[in-house]
Structure 1
Amino acid sequence: MDKLKMQSKNFVVQNIARLAELFPSCVTEKKNDKGDLEYAIDFDTLRQEFSDTIVEGQQERYSLNWPGKREALVTANTPISKTLRPCRDESVDFDTTKNIFIEGDNLDALKLLQETYLDKIKMIYIDPPYNTGNDFIYNDNFTVDKGEYDEASGQRDEEGGRLVANPDSNGRYHSDWLSMVYPRLKLARNLLRDDGVIFISIDDNEQSNLKKLCDEIFGEANFVAQISVQLNPRGRNLDKFIAKTHETVLVFVKDYMNEDSIFGMQKEGRMVKEYNKTDDIGQHRLTGLRNRNQAFNPKTRPKLYYPLYIEQLTGHVSLEESDIFVDEIWPDTPDGVKTCWTWGKEKVVKENHLLIAEKTGDGWRVYRKDYLLDEDGKTATTLVKSLWLDKKINNDYGRKIIKELLGSAVMSFPKSVDLIKKLIQIGAREEDLVLDFFTGSGTTSHATMQLNAEDGGSRKCISVQLPEETDETSEAFNAGYKNIAEISKERIRRAGKKIKEDNIDKEGIENLDTGFRVFKIDSSNMVDVTLSPDEAHPDMFEEQVGNIKTDRSSEDLLFQILLDWGVDLSMPINREEIDGKEVFFVDGNALAACFDKDINEDFVKKLAEKQPLRVVFRDDGFTSDAVKINVEQIFKLKSPATDIKVI
């Protein structure tokens, strides 16, 4: 039986393997610090692979660079020996909910989620620190010795502090911020599906740097837009020269060619009133087929300049002239300026039923029918504009909702639920998974539940928040909230309850998922057996009674295994008793786990009869070595497809 590694993925090894597939000649071997051989990249050879001339020395190229960028990349690639410990007492509907709340450093969280949620997230929204000089940023510049680094993943200073102020007097003002956000975005990209999208709120301080950084991480070709969101209609009085009223939402997709990355908004209000015509298919409006932009003309778009022929009695349109289709029309303006059609000939043939011509004083005009309802009976959508001015998306509404839910304005600038809800509407379908790893006050989770209540969706949300301490002079501290994570969790609890109360008469509202499983990032459940010479002593082996820490529960072990095996953390879990032993069954028989001791062959036989796909035991849980050896034989007879592991 193999042992589970119980450690986050080694991204360096993974990246070398990917390069080896493309450029096998660039992979070599080297000795590591222990003298063992390991794979490495020959960067001189790799550079040559990307050039059709001889490469001599370092070449200049366009890129975003800053002091500490290499260290930030190392930070992203460094594996950690940490885990997520479930916290039932702080959760809501722990056994049934599909939502996740992780308390801890989001860099650790993103590393821990790599196996389980690789290519699984449809939409990410984050509202990172804006680097205004007063904000705190994650301090990933570590000054610890190698032992401490290995144990804590290089994320702590000697005092264990995680946040530092970043005043603009700091010579590393932009560098510190970029070094903080770079590894997090690199890891986040891995989690996005091929049709995934990321929205990032930012202000002017780092907007230009963030755009360049995302160009590098997500690819410049995958940039979609910068949405200007009016959050303060009055403008900031303290600004110099110009009172700023807006912030930016930066939009990137995983793959720009994927049509399902971003969806349009359903039409409503005045846009619906424009659909004032009806035929056998339904309510529609007429939109001119001629392109009104004179930059598009026979010279620039020759394939879109051709004649159409009209049937006088019905207004039907054809590409071919005949005894019925006699009136010829070209895409010219009434004063004779040549433009072009918006459709090519193939589309005219394929969707001819959508075309209609109407007589005007100066001839014919050709229109296409634009129906209000799509083929599924849903209201048609329209492209989202890049300027958002709706009053409900500004900060006043964000503060109002927080105050109504929690009794006081415990957060200074919480985002509006309507803002995040609008982003989710264009970024995630009804059953998709949303991630926010700078959760703050919990607006994204709130917006996800609210939208599900409105459209009957079952979107799921993963929230990550550092337990950043509140200032002792703040409203949050005076209201009893010692850290931001406490605010997040309480806001989500109360928001879920209120949403159900507000929709009590709505059919199926009782099935709305307003719960969340709380996990807290902690050190590994496994005892660290790598000791330096000065830490060793004669009695150490007598003190060491097992490889699992004594303060860890069976449920702690279970979720570390789910992480290690890449199993969804929201999967249903059932407990059963077999021969007096506690057994966890995850997602039916997808995984069975027993961490009790004194496991004998009778128990193993009964468990094997349930034919789980995977099974996990404690390495020291068997009554004898003989039983441990026979486990594989027993499963081979009764459940040959079962994958067996020990911890």
Structure 2
Amino acid sequence: MPSLNWIGRQAVINHYKEMPYHLLDTKKELSYNIEEAEGNIIVHGDNLVALKSLLPYYSKSAKFCYIDVPYNTGNEEWIYNDNVNDPQIRKWLGQVVGKELDDLSRHDKWLCMMYPRLQLLKKFLRDDGFICVQIDDSEGAHLRVMMDEIFHSSNYLATIYVQVRYADKTLKQDMNFHKQIEQILVYRRTPKAKPYMKSEEYSYDKFTYTIKEKAEGREIELGGKRVVIFNPGEYEIINKEEGFKEGLKEIWASGTILDGNSSGRFFRDYLTGRKEGDGLGVLYKVYGIGEDMYDYRYFTGPKRSNATKGKYYQGVPLDKMSDDAESIKSIPNFYDMAADFGNCRHEGGVEFKSGKKPEKLLATLMEYFTREDDVVIDSFSGSGTTAAVAHKMKRKWIAIEMGDHCYTHVQKRLLSVVKGTDSQFNWNGGGGFRFYELSVPLTDRYGQINKSVSYEHLARHIYFTETGHSVSEDDLLEKPLIAEFRNTFYFLLFENDQETVLDNDILAEIKKYNGTKIVYADRNVISSTHLKAHDIMFKQIPYQVEVK
């Protein structure tokens, strides 16, 4: 499988593993109706650090991720600088990539910025989850190869093309090419992910044919099936123009059809090449094939000496014969949303001069990839469109934004949503959210657990680093037991203002659990023999707490 190489790749490819976990501080004055937040959160801060810090709480919990990433066009007029010149991004590149920064092209910088973020976002997705990344052709080719590498090419599903402006819209005069189309790359986390397809009333419009037999024909056997051959003049194919339930649909037996269904394969294996013996323009009536109201299917052979193709005539499938039958519609890979992009500037009560995505686009994607109560994540929140639409569609959401418009746009917009002053989609308001600021790392510069870390913080962190799974605060068991996973019990003895000890009193409490027991504490006074006898593993705080 092809992979990308760029200056700085080796510095960032494992960077997300080396980053410390940080705490998240709740800002009550920027939150709203916390009692009904139901997991909805806004996080202000570097989205790479924020994603790593959220992992212990949201690993494998998101059904859908949408990100509208910096396009890297070199245009600095956006509120979100999309030439990867954002001071925080440049500071991060300087710290991580180091001296190589001076040699980086803007494409190298963009790849350095995006790669670890996509690696982390993958960890948030459920096995049946999807990620959609919107981009234009400035970095579209690089993004495709990078996502193939991170998510695997077998999980690439489609590229959706979106018309974002009209052909006659005036752009900068120094542009040689008029950009009308953007791309959305769609990947699944694993093959367990299945889109929610839309259905419509089944249409009989294409079933317009009927075939009239004017003679008895000549009977033979082909491929173990009874076949009646009608010569030209012994049958008539009638097109009634209007479809009807008992009608037949005409299908060319060519291309992928020859391998794709039983009728195509029968034509390929038994009817191809018979024109020399049967003649041109004959009709074959093959019994015992197909799943419609008839126990036969008609095939036509070539009508000209230099032709090889034929047709077959299929009835309405049996499962589509009822009056309430439905058909599944494929997901379109093109949407003309030029009008919506042109009119969304003031959506949500926050103005974004350029680059803002219309709510209609996000709603369309969420209808295919989510259902009510699913978790939606956007780590490049911009003006907060993803979270706003998710809330109105009764999804849970995580919005991360590093710029100041986390306050001026995202928080402001979500506040209007929950209060009901943003009434688009006939929304009347309700719910709430928590607003977080990134805080200190889990450990201080001396390697000690930071004073602001609570038992719940550390317990959920330990459970995640031990198991790779998140546990909610409500699912934490009674102290000192954190939780059980695959017959291993995890215990935490932790007090921020005093030393904790694994002693005989604690041993008596935990040895009753039947399975492996892992105990985190500041100190242990039980002999290794006794620990082994009771299948207990001691891990010392803070030295054996994984902090990266």
Q: TM-score, normalised by structure 2?
A: 0.67
Partner of 2:195: 262
Partner of 1:636: 510
The correspondence for 2:293, drawn from 300, 311, 316, is 316
Worse-superposed segment, 111-120 or 204-213: 111-120
Partner of 2:8: 68
The answer (yes or no) to whether the contact 2:196–2:369 under 8 Å persists in 1 is yes
> Which structure is higher in RCO with an 8 Å CA cutoff and minimum separation 6?
2
Q: How far has the Cα of 1:492 moved from its partner?
A: 1.0
Partner of 1:368: 317
The correspondence for 1:487, drawn from 409, 415, 426, is 409
**Equivalent residue of 1:434, what SS?**
strand
How many angstroms apart in 1 are the aligned matches of 2:343 and 2:322? 32
Partner of 1:425: 367
How many angstroms apart in 1 are the aligned matches of 2:321 and 2:346? 35
Q: How far has the Cα of 1:486 moved from its partner?
A: 3.9
Please list, as runs of the form range in 1=range in 2, the aligned pairs for 1:130-169 lying within 5 A after superposition: 130-134=71-75, 135-137=82-84, 138-139=89-90, 142-143=93-94, 154=96
How many angstroms apart in 2 are the aligned matches of 1:428 and 1:396? 26
How many angstroms apart in 1 are the aligned matches of 2:334 and 2:123? 29
Partner of 1:121: 62
Please list, as runs of the form range in 1=range in 2, the aligned pairs for 1:549-588 lying within 5 A after superposition: 549=450, 552=452, 554=454, 558-566=456-464, 571=472, 586-587=473-474
Q: How far has the Cα of 1:113 moved from its partner?
A: 3.2
Q: Deviations over 1:480-500 (max 9, x none)?
A: xxx434421111111232278
**Equivalent residue of 1:92, what SS?**
coil
The answer (yes or no) to whether the contact 1:113–1:563 under 8 Å persists in 2 is no
How many angstroms apart in 2 are the aligned matches of 1:300 and 1:82? 53
The answer (yes or no) to whether the contact 2:197–2:330 under 8 Å persists in 1 is yes
Partner of 1:99: 40
- Structure 1 residues 232 and 318, CA gap change in structure 2 (3 angstroms): same
Q: How far has the Cα of 1:142 moved from its partner?
A: 4.6
**Equivalent residue of 1:89, what SS?**
coil
How many angstroms apart in 1 are the aligned matches of 2:322 and 2:125? 30
Q: How far has the Cα of 1:231 moved from its partner?
A: 1.4
Q: How far has the Cα of 1:62 moved from its partner?
A: 4.6
Please list, as runs of the form range in 1=range in 2, the aligned pairs for 1:448-487 lying within 5 A after superposition: 448-452=390-394, 459-466=395-402, 468-469=403-404, 483-487=405-409
How many angstroms apart in 2 are the aligned matches of 1:316 and 1:296? 25
How many angstroms apart in 2 are the aligned matches of 1:526 and 1:435? 27
- Structure 1 residues 187 and 338, CA gap change in structure 2 (3 angstroms): same
How many angstroms apart in 1 are the aligned matches of 2:315 and 2:440? 69
**Equivalent residue of 1:123, what SS?**
strand
- Structure 1 residues 70 and 416, CA gap change in structure 2 (3 angstroms): same
Letter in 1 for 2:251: N
Q: How far has the Cα of 1:366 moved from its partner?
A: 2.5
- Structure 1 residues 518 and 464, CA gap change in structure 2 (3 angstroms): same
**Equivalent residue of 2:437, what SS?**
strand
- Structure 1 residues 179 and 621, CA gap change in structure 2 (3 angstroms): closer
Worse-superposed segment, 202-211 or 627-636: 627-636
Partner of 1:515: 432
How many angstroms apart in 1 are the aligned matches of 2:479 and 2:127? 33
Q: Deviations over 1:251-275 (max 9, x none)?
A: 12223x44x432323449xx98979
Partner of 1:618: 494
Q: How far has the Cα of 1:414 moved from its partner?
A: 1.3
Q: Indicate whether 1:413 and 2:348 are aligned.
A: no
Q: Deviations over 1:26-51 (max 9, x none)?
A: xxxxxxxxxxxxxxxxxxxxxxxxxx
Partner of 2:188: 253
Q: Indicate whether 1:444 and 2:404 are aligned.
A: no
- Structure 1 residues 529 and 420, CA gap change in structure 2 (3 angstroms): same
Q: Deviations over 1:502-532 (max 9, x none)?
A: 788x9xx78x6x32222222113544325xx
The answer (yes or no) to whether the contact 1:124–1:435 under 8 Å persists in 2 is yes
Q: How far has the Cα of 1:645 moved from its partner?
A: 4.5
How many angstroms apart in 1 are the aligned matches of 2:520 and 2:459? 10
How many angstroms apart in 1 are the aligned matches of 2:326 and 2:390? 21
Q: How far has the Cα of 1:249 moved from its partner?
A: 0.8
The answer (yes or no) to whether the contact 2:65–2:130 under 8 Å persists in 1 is yes
- Structure 1 residues 431 and 300, CA gap change in structure 2 (3 angstroms): closer
Q: Deviations over 1:43-87 (max 9, x none)?
A: xxxxxxxxxxxxxxxxxx953211111112132331314222223
Q: Deviations over 1:425-458 (max 9, x none)?
A: 1112333221111111111111112223xxxxxx
Partner of 2:265: 303
Q: How far has the Cα of 1:229 moved from its partner?
A: 0.6
Segments of 5+ residues of structure 2 without an aligned counterpart are: 76-81, 209-243, 271-283, 482-488, 522-540, 542-548
How many angstroms apart in 2 are the aligned matches of 1:276 and 1:412? 48
Q: How far has the Cα of 1:125 moved from its partner?
A: 0.5
- Structure 1 residues 560 and 381, CA gap change in structure 2 (3 angstroms): farther
Letter in 2 for 1:303: R
How many angstroms apart in 1 are the aligned matches of 2:204 and 2:421? 31
Q: How far has the Cα of 1:117 moved from its partner?
A: 3.2
Segments of 5+ residues of structure 1 without an aligned counterpart are: 1-60, 145-153, 158-163, 278-283, 320-327, 342-363, 453-458, 470-482, 531-546, 572-585, 595-603, 605-612
Q: TM-score, normalised by structure 1?
A: 0.58
Q: How far has the Cα of 1:621 moved from its partner?
A: 5.0
How many angstroms apart in 2 are the aligned matches of 1:339 and 1:441? 56
How many angstroms apart in 2 are the aligned matches of 1:250 and 1:383? 17
Letter in 2 for 1:488: V
**Equivalent residue of 1:228, what SS?**
strand
How many angstroms apart in 2 are the aligned matches of 1:287 and 1:264? 27
Identity %: 22
Partner of 1:242: 177
- Structure 1 residues 214 and 297, CA gap change in structure 2 (3 angstroms): closer
Q: How far has the Cα of 1:119 moved from its partner?
A: 3.0
Q: Indicate whether 1:401 and 2:350 are aligned.
A: no
**Equivalent residue of 1:317, what SS?**
coil
Partner of 1:591: 477
- Structure 1 residues 179 and 635, CA gap change in structure 2 (3 angstroms): same
The answer (yes or no) to whether the contact 2:93–2:113 under 8 Å persists in 1 is no
Partner of 1:90: 30
The answer (yes or no) to whether the contact 1:230–1:389 under 8 Å persists in 2 is yes
